[in-house]
Amino acid sequence: KGHDFETTLRKIFNDAGFIVQKIQVTEGDGGLDMIVSYQTNQICVQSKDTENPLILKYVKDLESTMMHHKHSLGMLIYNSSTMKKEKYLTKQASIWLNNSPQDIIVCNEKQVIEEIKNFFKIKNEEEPEELSIMDFKADSFALMGIV
């Protein structure tokens, strides 16, 4: 069940031109399923195919993995066709997520590509641009030491 959802996600990412690296299940991987590359950004992806709201443990595991791997963004992606609840996060998970120092997005597979593109578009707009002189012409007086 969960592996089918991971396969669906990999296809969504690949079809959008993202590079996907599947993570082999190991102890201490924090539930990490794949690392996705978008432009120069690395994204930790944890997928959940459950009908119940996502619990605090999932958020903490992803947050911990991100701290160890220095990724730009973490994503907790749930299956929209399996999730039975309108609220996809438990109250504790929601509170923790709102106070997390990490950039983590929770969404379903239908929203994932747009969420990633919007996140990095906004993040890039927030970063200050370096000052560059576009049309520099030397002042002949300054070159001769007159000024």
DSSP labels, 82-141: T---S--B-HHHHHHHHT-SS-EEEEETTTHHHHHHHHHHHHHHHSPPPP--SS----HH
- The mean predicted confidence, pLDDT, of the chain is 84
pLDDT score for 97: 95
Q: What is the tens place of the pLDDT at every residue in 47-78? A: 999 999 999 999 999 998 888 777 689 999 99
Q: Hey, what domains does the chain have and what are their CATH numbers?
A: 2-143 (3.40.1350.10)
107: pLDDT strictly greater than 50: yes
131: pLDDT strictly greater than 90: no
Report which of residues 39 and 22 the model is more confident about. Answer: 39
pLDDT score for 69: 72
pLDDT score for 27: 46
% pLDDT > 70, the chain? 78
pLDDT score for 13: 97
SS3 79: coil
Average pLDDT, integer, range 29-48: 87
